[in-house]
DNA sequence: AGGAATTTGTGCGTATGTATC
DNA sequence: AGATACATACGCACAAATTCC
């Protein structure tokens, strides 16, 4: 922990906890030890542990109750995926880029076979970067019924842009599962995936859409209850 | 600030900052004073101010850069709306309920006229609650082309459920603007909107969808860069 | 019913690390 | 290289919610 390249402790802790929960080593609904006790066992300050726990809660894997305890929740890691989703959607902060490695038309894998009307799909493999820093490997399957042929050049820009303008689709919602220590066999050497401690894995099924804008809404809210809202929204 | 019902200081601070930014009293791109100086002026500890600033950043109205400063961003308050959106979508934590006040078919308001093919729309007014606590007033306009008639009973459950099963629509993405100190003229007395300090206002335009699932993706990511990702995703 | 014990939430202050200018 | 500014980490005291006796 002397090197400057080390991650912040609270991130290391939250990643560790997420792996423990996602891997099922902590039972659903079970309560963690008291924060002070846990912090002492881990050799960190309570505040540091609390920051880690808050992070895990945001990712939807923990339910924190004042006066009671911290409870494990076995739900998909919605928030961490949302961060990826936002990269292309909002383009806020940093420059998101993607290099398309390959586009192939193949028979669909098992989990995907039930979706869409065709037996084949387009498999797109991409490298995702932020400000030139490689952050993710991505494999996307698109139902062949959408298009006969897809070229790499057509995907040059944002996938979101491609969906919207070429296919008329808009990403509607995502459903994810999280796994642990799974490494793809096509990982390039440029992307140093650590097969041990810090490798995460997300599997996503998402719904798509075609309709034009057909809704308009207005919401007035009482900001004095905003804390309550966000607190419940996290749970 | 003596009463026990008062909100935490850091929430009060973040709400104050959000109002200042949303109302345009802080110019877009302008830099806030250094945190220590700001904390001293406001009479709070640096840690407390930092918690408030982090909250404002999550809501997308602030860009924080280590070693440089905190910069104002005039973008829609995406995250705060996302909290509302999640209420029906995830149903995590707390019991979200909605009371439909009225459903009327009327000529569409100006801002909505450009969307959809019809001149009329269904205006739905609802009360949103979490665990029995009234948290928001909502007015939704739905293009009349979707349905000739909409009854209150059909909306009894979740609006999301109604969209999905009755209209075949899935909410795809939202675009919001934030305003300040706007109070609807149909606010019931039960909902104590404070016209002064703490009233927020959100106006939303959202896209909807019909298509069935047609995409499947897998993403492998390097968790050692998760901090970088989430930091950029927020900005 | 009620009070004590337990547990998380809030807030403060400080020291040190790291990025930016 | 130095100054500035945000990020991390620690520890403590008290408040608030829950649980238990």
For nucleic chain C, which protein residues have CB less than 7 Å from any of its atoms? Answer: A 4, 6, 32, 34-37, 47, 50, 53, 64-70, 227; B 8-11, 43-48, 51, 65-68
CA neighbours closer than 13 Å in the CB half-sphere of residue A57? 20
B227 neighbors A198 (Cβ within 8 angstroms): no
Q: Residue range A188-200: average pLDDT?
A: 40
Cross-chain Cβ contact A83/B230 below 8 Å: yes
Cross-chain Cβ contact B130/A232 below 8 Å: yes
Q: In sequence order, what DSSP letters do the residues of A117-178 get, joined into one string?
A: S-SEEEEEEEEEEETTEEEEEEEEEEEGGG-S---TGGGSS-HHHHIIIII-----EEEEEE
Which of B16, B213, B235 would best serve as a mutation to test chain A binding (most A beta carbons within 10 A)? B213
Read off the pLDDT of residues A3-25 as tens digits, 9 standing for 90 and up: 333 578 888 788 778 767 765 66
Q: In which band, very low, low, confident or very high, does the pLDDT at A225 lie, cut at 50, 70 and 90?
A: very low
**Chain B CB within 8 Å of residue A151 CB:** no
Better-scored residue on pLDDT, B107 or A52: A52
B40 neighbors B49 (Cβ within 8 angstroms): no
Q: How far is the CA of B146 from the C1' of D4 (A)?
A: 58
Distance from the first to the final alpha carbon of chain B: 32
**Chain A CB within 8 Å of residue B162 CB:** no
A115 contacts on B by Cβ (under 8 Å): 212-216
Read off the pLDDT of residues B123-144 as tens digits, 9 standing for 90 and up: 777 665 544 555 556 666 766 6
H or E element at residue A97: strand A96-107
Q: Which residue is nearest to nucleotide C20 (CA to C1')?
A: B67
Alpha-carbon gap: A113 to the closest alpha carbon of chain B (Å):
10
Write down the pLDDT at residue A109.
65
**Distance from C-alpha of A156 to C-alpha of A140, rounded to nearest angstrom:** 15
CB-proximal positions of chain C, under 7 Å: 6-14, 17-21
Q: In sequence order, what DSSP letters do the residues of B143-170 get, joined into one string?
A: EGGG-S---TGGGSS-HHHHIIIII---
Q: How far is the CA of B232 from the C1' of C21 (A)?
A: 21
**Distance from C-alpha of B145 to C-alpha of B129, rounded to nearest angstrom:** 29
A203 neighbors A179 (Cβ within 8 angstroms): yes
Q: Which of A135, A145, A146 sits opposite B225 (nearest CB)?
A: A135
B16 neighbors B22 (Cβ within 8 angstroms): no
Write down the pLDDT at residue A49.
94
Q: What angle in degrees, to the nearest 10, is found between the helix axes of B78-89 and A226-234?
A: 50
Q: Determine the 3-state secondary structure of B230 from DSSP.
A: helix
Cross-chain Cβ contact A221/B135 below 8 Å: yes
Give the highest mean pLDDT range of A71-80, A121-130, B112-121, B173-182: A121-130
A171 contacts on B by Cβ (under 8 Å): 172-173, 215
Q: In which band, very low, low, confident or very high, does the pLDDT at A107 lie, cut at 50, 70 and 90?
A: confident
Cα–Cα distance list, B64 to A94, A100, B56, B60 (Å): 12, 31, 10, 10
Write down the pLDDT at residue B217.
40
Write down the pLDDT at residue B23.
56
Which of B92, B119, B214, B235 would best serve as a mutation to test chain A binding (most A beta carbons within 10 A)? B214
């Amino acid at each position: 922990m002397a090197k400057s390249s080390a991650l912040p402790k609270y991130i290391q802790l939250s990643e560790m906890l997420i792996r423990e929960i996602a891997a099922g080593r902590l039972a659903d609904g079970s309560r963690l030890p008291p924060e002070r006790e846990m912090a002492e066992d881990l050799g960190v300050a309570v505040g540091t542990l609390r920051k880690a726990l808050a992070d895990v809660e945001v990712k939807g894997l923990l339910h924190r109750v004042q006066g009671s305890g911290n409870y494990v929740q076995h739900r998909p890691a919605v928030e961490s995926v949302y961060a990826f989703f936002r990269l292309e959607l909002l383009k806020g902060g940093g420059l998101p880029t993607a290099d398309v490695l390959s586009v192939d038309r193949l028979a669909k894998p098992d989990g995907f076979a039930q979706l869409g009307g065709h037996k084949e799909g387009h498999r797109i493999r991409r490298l995702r970067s932020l400000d030139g820093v490689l952050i993710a490997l991505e494999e996307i399957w698109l139902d062949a019924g959408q298009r006969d042929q897809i070229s790499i050049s057509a995907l040059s820009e944002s996938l979101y842009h491609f969906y919207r303008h070429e296919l008329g689709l808009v990403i509607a919602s995502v459903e994810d599962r999280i796994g642990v220590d799974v490494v793809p066999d096509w990982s390039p050497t440029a992307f140093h995936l650590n097969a041990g401690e810090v490798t995460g894995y997300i599997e996503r099924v998402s719904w798509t859409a075609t309709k034009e804008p057909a809704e308009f809404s207005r919401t007035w809210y009482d900001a004095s209850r905003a804390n309550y809202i966000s607190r419940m929204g996290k749970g």
